[in-house]
Amino acid sequence: MLNTIKNIADGWLRHSMNVWLKKYKPSKEIQTYLDDRFSVCMSCDHMSVMNYPGFNKDFRFCGKCKCAFPSLIFAYRKECPQRKWGAIPDDIK
Instruction: Using CB under 6 A, list all residues that contact ligand SF4.
Output: 40-41, 44, 46-47, 62, 64-65, 80-82, 84
Q: Decide whether 57 or 83 has the Cβ nearer to ligand SF4.
A: 83
Q: Decide whether 29 or 36 has the Cβ nearer to ligand SF4.
A: 36
Q: Decide whether 13 or 65 has the Cβ nearer to ligand SF4.
A: 65
Q: Residue 86: helix, strand or coil by DSSP?
A: coil
- Whole-number minimum distance, CB 79 to ligand SF4, in Å? 8
**Apex 27 CA angle, 25 and 7, nearest 5:** 75
